[in-house]
Each structure stands twice: as C-alpha cells, then as structure tokens.
Structure 1
Amino acid sequence: MSAFLRTSAVRVSARAFSTTAPRPLARITIVGNLAAPPELHPTSTGNEILRYSVASSSGSRENRVTSWFNITSFEGEGPRRDYLQSLPKGALVYIEGDASMSSYTDAEGKPRKSLSVIQRHLEVLRRPDTSAD
C-alpha cells in the first residue's frame, strides 16, 4: 500500500501538461442584466476591446442588493463580436470569466478596490421584450 501512496503523490505533484509555473487563478460566474449594450474601445496597442456592465441582484424585495460588474471582452473582429455589440440593455446574460482585484486611490484621496472581470464565456439567457404594448 505504501508503494501506491508514493506513486500517487508523484503523479499529483507532476505537471506533465505544462512547463510553466502554476499561477493562482480566480474564476467568477455572473448571472445578471446588461446595463447598456457593450461598447467598443480602442487600446494603446491599436486593438479594440468590448466593455460592458452587468447588474446582478440578490435578496428579498426589502433587502435587495445589486452588485455591478465591469466586464472586458477581447473578442476579435467578426460575427461573435458583432453579436455581443447587438445585445440590448436589459438582456439577461450568463458570464464566466477571470477575476482580479486592484487597489487605487480615488480623486478624493480615498482608497478603493476594483474587481476586473475578463470574459471567457458569455451566454444570452433572455433578451428583453421589445414589442410595443
């Protein structure tokens, strides 16, 4: 049995699939509504990125809390990016992404923290009803 344990320990610690050092990674899943259609922004390198915000609410009506998430998408030019840009305000979306925290000082000198989310997967769960009543 001890030979099995030694063999298992070696397999667990080995990273045959990668030669790079392991890095911590924070994944986040968000289900919420788009605050506005995604907007295209140029980068300093001449590329373009999509940015948008998602609002996600939790709690009962009396204790409802809404969290806002700023999302960045590096989707290249093409039909997928066009599709993202066509999403209307209020669309219910499911997003999986990589999350990272950063700290900064605001204009008033107060320390602030910001959560950055890089979109890895987006799925539209429901589009808002645009039919006139």
Structure 2
Amino acid sequence: MINKVTLVGRLGADPEIRTLSNGAMVAKFSLATSENYKDRAGEWQEDTQWHDVILWRNLAERAQQYLRKGSLVYLDGKLTHRKWQDKEGNPRKTTEVVASYFRLLDGKRDGDDSGSNPAPAETGAPASPGANKTDGDDLPF
C-alpha cells in the first residue's frame, strides 16, 4: 500500500512555527495548487485547491528559515486525517499533508523577490533510506 502526495504550489502565508513542550518544532502552512482548463463555452478557467501542510523538526526549522508567503515549493509527503474537538466540543476532522521533503523552486528568501539570493536547492529528510536526492537530480516530472 502507498500513501504518497507530491505537490507543487505557492504558500498562502508565512509558515506558522511552534515549539512543543517536548522541544519538537512544527511548521504549518497552506499551499495553493492551480489547474487551468477550458469550460464548455471554450473559456479558460482556473481551479485552485488549498492544502494544509505540516512539517516536523528539522524540516520545520528549514521552513522557518527559507519559506515565505508566495514561495514556490515542491514537496513530498503523506496524506493524514485527524479527528479533534473544537472549543465548543464539536467533533471536527482535518486532512493534512505531512511533508517528508521539500524543495524551494523560486529562490526567494527573506523577502528578496529578485531570486538573486537563492536558498539551498534541497531541503528535507528522506522518508526512507537512500531517498534523499542531494546529488543534483532533477525533479521527477
């Protein structure tokens, strides 16, 4: 069985960073992916989907350092579902992508829109041994 998600999209806001009581860092952000298509009338339409993304520990630290609102990011991870209760005690369900790897694609860093100050190309820990492609491999698409 496989649970794998691959997304390329733009951050809707700067990552929210928290440090838990056990010292683990977690980052959360929304990622927008868009698809363009022609409708029945022949007009181009854009369908944008928003994905909640979670990064843990060293990935969260790197997200804090390099990711900003509008950053173009490639990421791999897995789809997860959580059940929880809101403040009023109502049951809620959340679907999230827990990322195991990300790569900054547009080179923006610290508000620099020129791309002249690129972040490291590869950022993340492999989900399995030998899966980290730090040798300059191209994206798998």
The answer to whether TM tops 0.5 is yes
- TM-score bin, normalised by smaller chain: 0.5 to 0.7
TM-score, length-normalised on structure 2? 0.58
| Cα distance per residue 1:61-93 (max 9 Å; x no partner) | 7321111111111123xxx64442132211110
Task: Determine which structure has greater relative contact order: mean sequence separation of CA pairs < 8 Å that are 6+ residues apart, divided by chain length.
Answer: 1
Q: Does 1:73 align with 2:55?
A: yes
Give the unaligned 5+ runs of structure 2.
38-42, 115-141
Answer with 1 or 2: which has the greater Rg.
1
- How many aligned positions are there? 105
The Cα shift of 1:115 comes to: 1.8
Q: After TM superposition, where is structure 1 displaced by more than 4 Å over at least 4 residues in a row?
A: 102-107, 110-113
User: Aligned AA for 1:75?
Assistant: R
Change (3 A) 1:81 1:116: closer
> How far apart are the structure 2 equivalents of 1:103 and 1:48?
21
Q: Is contact 1:90–1:127 with CA below 8 Å preserved after alignment?
A: no
TM-score, length-normalised on structure 1? 0.61
Q: Which has the higher helix share?
A: 1
Partner in structure 1 of residue 76 of structure 2: 96
1:3-82 maps to which residues of 2 (within 5 A)? 24-43=1-20, 45-60=22-37, 62-76=44-58, 81-82=60-61
Percent identity among equivalent residues? 29
User: Aligned AA for 1:117?
Assistant: V
